[in-house]
Structure 1
Amino acid sequence: MSSCTIESQNKMKKIALTTSLINFFISLFIWYQFDSSQTQYQFVVTSLLENQPALGGNFCNLNFGIDGISLYFVLLTTFVTPVALLSNYSNITKNLKLFLISFLLLETLQICAFVSLDLLLFYIFFESVLPILFIVIVIFGHGNDRIRSAFLFFLYTLAGSLPMLLCILMIYSYIGSTDFQIISLYSISLDSQKIIWLGFFIAFAVKTPLYPFIIWLPKAHSDSVLSGSIILAATIIKLATYGYLRILVEILPDATHYFSPLVQTMAVITLIYASFSTIIQQDTKRLIAYSSICHMAVAILGLFSNTIIGIEGAILLSLAHGFVSPALFICVGGVIYERTGTRLINYIRGLVTYMPVFTILFLMFTLANTGIPLTLNWLGEQLSLMGIWLQNPAVACLGATGIVLSACYSLFLYNRLSYGNLSPHLPPLKDINRREFYLLISLLIPTIVFGLLPNVILNPLHSSVSSLLYTI
């Protein structure tokens, strides 16, 4: 490769990284300016074309705004995007411009989904991430099965979201608008709520994913490029978490209460099934993918507990998962894979001999993944389980088995990779470099700091979560 080409590639990387960091600092400024005492949307932007009859009146208005719930999902998105870009900073050389544009576009579309104040607009952005991720998996992924994995991801999630589109049109036929704030002023009959709720729930259950819709996620992770796995684990599946809160709990509360036992049952089945599936995995990335499903199942229990403590715990757990899961993907799919050329656990042993610094960081994220105290994961899991305990102690006890099972598969993975006799299949390995160290530390700091100081998150969150359940 010529020096001119290398220089131009370095410029493109710096431009993309600088752009993503500017977005992150803007989101921090919005967090600083956010008034946590209000329950209304803030920083609202309304389109000039809002009430043009030719464009359908109140159909799909370009309205954007932030409340206490969407604020943290926006912050998570802007924080994780630079991490994703840096994770593949040195090993993507072909189609680099497409790679960088794809991830900046993904960031934009996800932020738009989290701040949309219109149902149809939310659906458009909710679905618009699919073709970009499809391209990322096909072009930049690895493995002979990546095209099948990309199609499985794309078709599974697209088909699951079609009922959501029909339900949005159904709401528009009832109310004459798809605006969140206008919809919240109307009362929809319970029978209609049930039909609409099921359509939305199918879309979100596929994206979460909940059993039996989980087959696409491990395959997408295992065949995706590392940056794709980071974005998918940290923020893409959080679109469903946000959808549960913004649509099912807020707009369809009666149907949500009616179907809560069904959702809790599905979450417990997902948790136990995915935990046992995780323990037997031999592919490291697939193992971390299954562990993501387990943690999101606990978050779903909190979301559908109908308690403030449960919902706040689910949001904390979603944020914690957005830090720890990308870090584990960087450990197994980045650091270890780049040095060993394999993701099969049987071929990797005794890493502590050559990589002591990496082993310490890997241990800290492994413990965080198990939900150890003083981490944000622990607070999220405990609050979620406390919330569901107030509704159904039996479900809470079943959900608590996830804590034991997560310790089993997380420590089992760490022990097999890090200790034991040196694998004869491995050459001498270099410890982590400066870029990898900074990446892991940047994900470790918020996991521990917010675990020690959760009120930094909970105070701005409390009014918005309370307004979901109570009329203030």
Structure 2
Amino acid sequence: MVIILLALVLVPLVTGFALVGGGRRPRAVGETSAFAIAALAAAATTALAVVVSIQRPDFDRQWVPSLGLRFHLGVDGISIPLIVLTAAIGLLAVLHRRVDDRSGSDATYFGCLLIVVGGALLGFLARDAILFFIAFEMVLVPMWVLIAVFGDQRDRESTRRAALMFVLYTVLGSTLMLAGILALVFASGTADLTELARGVSLNAPQQTAIAAMLLAGFAVKVPLWPLHSWLPAAHTAAPTGGSMLLAAVLLKLGTYGVIRLLVAPLREGWQTLAPLVGVLAVIGIIWAGLVCLVEPSLKRLIAYSSVAHMGVVMLALATGTELGLKAALFGNISHGLISALLFAVVGGLKQRWHDDRLDVPREAVRDVSPRLGFALLFGLAASLGLPPLAGFWSELLTLLAAWQPASDRTLFKVLAAVAAIGAVLGAAYALRVARTVWGGSSDRSERVVPEPAPWRDASALEWTVIATLIIAIAVLGVWPTGLLDLMAPAVDQSGAIR
């Protein structure tokens, strides 16, 4: 089984680097060949992820003996859902690229997608803090390429600025994160995440200082308000597949790192910082909701909604309870599926409209594209937390956890009440999008912009990608206990990881 664990990481990474190298002329890989190779690698990765999730193998070898570092890979109930999510979203992102007629099936594009998937999988599998950091950093360069090279071609200046913001913010976050990880490793004497999860024997001021460094780095990666401004710009410029991976996978690496390196090892330090995290998370929820009420760019609006949803996840973690940890983990998966669905739909609409403006009168999507219209309504319903869809459970569990936190009960009850207002804002902007896009121009006296001919509804391949996400969101909403029971053995009564 060890070979399967290694293959789960090596298949996307090796294929990805081969495609990037093979995409260079004069011996460039053809469009059809690049798509076929990438699709096969992504499908194999998804199958391997399922097998690893069932068998749960472990691989542990010395890596840098002089520094005491080990190449240690393993899975548990916390990482398994994220591993399957990463592999599945990677496959769907590859398939969705075939739908985009504007730029073909570029080998470099597919290669970068697979490298992002492979790096993320390595991060979720890593049981060593330094290995986790290396894996986290591995995904940044290919994601930058996806944004800078394959991003929005209509406004190259904005795309370049978005790519630059992505690099500057993430490098800043990486520097702070590395400083915190090194401080944690040298103070505790180990980089093994299993050992660190038992808690470190440091006094409260030391834990708080290290936790503050780690939190500052992860706040950029999650992102947590007010360090979120890079995310809407990156999503707006990124290609559809890049946005799907960025929202569904890369942001989850940030919250996963918070759980592995903050919540579990530095319990006293995290408890000290948790009220601040809760306040910032709720500010982000309200801030993003208000922006979404007036944002004219549909893709940017969905990006800001991700800021709000990640605020919900961080609020759940800040409660310091077992229920809060479960709510955060559930929210990670539900948001990954919902955001991937919305970006797939919005990407399809942007391709057909040739922009994503909400202030331009258009024909109703329900009339010209029933499939995309249904998928948009479904994604919006899941995003606002309508039961019995996946988004409902993450919000409900978070509010329950915030109402009964481990400490600062009065503060967290206030935060729960304010976060509930954020849910109302979510319903308001979801209805705004539904009225404007699904229902068409509300003012029929305005000149409706005719859709570029020929307008096509979702193709068979595009609908397969969208329908897969719809089914996953529905199943997770109807049967939440499946995911919760999977996570339960890895979470103890104190909210730490076993």
Q: Please give the TM-score of this superposition, normalised by the length of structure 1.
A: 0.92
Note the alpha carbon deviations across 1:31-50, whole angstroms, 9 max, x for none. Answer: 333xxxxxxxx522112446
Aligned to 2:37: 15
Note the alpha carbon deviations across 1:87-144, whole angstroms, 9 max, x for none. Answer: 2114364681111111111111001111111111111111221111111111101122
Pairs within 5 Å for 1:92-171: 93=103, 96-142=106-152, 143-144=155-156, 145-171=158-184
Note the alpha carbon deviations across 1:12-33, whole angstroms, 9 max, x for none. Answer: 2111111111111121122333
**Aligned residue-pair number:** 454
Query: Any conservation in 1 of the 2:284–2:311 contact (CA below 8 Å)?
Result: yes
Query: Any conservation in 2 of the 1:13–1:89 contact (CA below 8 Å)?
Result: yes
Instruction: Read off the aligned partner of 1:8 and give its amino acid letter.
Output: G
Note the alpha carbon deviations across 1:47-74, whole angstroms, 9 max, x for none. Answer: 2446x33xx2x1x321111111011111
Pairs within 5 Å for 1:418-437: 418-419=438-439, 420=441, 421=444, 423-427=448-452, 429-437=455-463
Q: Any stretches of 5+ residues in structure 2 without a counterpart?
A: 1-26, 406-411
- Cα distance between partner residues in 2 of 1:320 and 1:188: 35
| Percentage of matched positions with identical amino acids | 28
Residue 268 (structure 2) pairs with residue 254 (structure 1) = yes
Aligned to 2:495: 469
Give the direction of change, closer, same or farther, for the CA distance of 1:11–1:176 in structure 2 (3 Å limit). Answer: same
Q: CA deviation at 1:7?
A: 9.5
- Cα distance between partner residues in 2 of 1:150 and 1:462: 39
- Cα distance between partner residues in 2 of 1:179 and 1:119: 6
Query: Any conservation in 2 of the 1:161–1:202 contact (CA below 8 Å)?
Result: no
Q: CA deviation at 1:168?
A: 2.2
Q: Any stretches of 5+ residues in structure 1 without a counterpart?
A: 34-41
Q: CA deviation at 1:358?
A: 2.2
Moved more, 140-149 or 231-240: 140-149
Aligned to 1:303: 317
- Cα distance between partner residues in 2 of 1:69 and 1:468: 16
Which of 391, 395, 398 does residue 384 from structure 1 map onto? 398
Which of 439, 451, 468 does residue 442 from structure 1 map onto? 468
Aligned to 1:28: 50
Pairs within 5 Å for 1:230-379: 230-333=244-347, 335-347=348-360, 348-379=362-393
Pairs within 5 Å for 1:45-64: 45-49=59-63, 52-53=65-66, 56=67, 58=68, 60-64=69-73
Query: Any conservation in 1 of the 2:370–2:457 contact (CA below 8 Å)?
Result: yes
Give the direction of change, closer, same or farther, for the CA distance of 1:140–1:117 in structure 2 (3 Å limit). Answer: same
Q: CA deviation at 1:224?
A: 0.8
- Cα distance between partner residues in 1 of 2:321 and 2:192: 26
Residue 194 (structure 2) pairs with residue 194 (structure 1) = no
Q: Please give the TM-score of this superposition, normalised by the length of structure 2.
A: 0.87
Query: Any conservation in 2 of the 1:350–1:423 contact (CA below 8 Å)?
Result: no
Note the alpha carbon deviations across 1:167-187, whole angstroms, 9 max, x for none. Answer: 222233323332223434641
Moved more, 254-263 or 87-96: 87-96
- Cα distance between partner residues in 2 of 1:327 and 1:283: 17
Give the direction of change, closer, same or farther, for the CA distance of 1:99–1:246 in structure 2 (3 Å limit). Answer: same
Aligned to 1:457: 483
Give the direction of change, closer, same or farther, for the CA distance of 1:322–1:458 in structure 2 (3 Å limit). Answer: same
Aligned to 2:233: 219
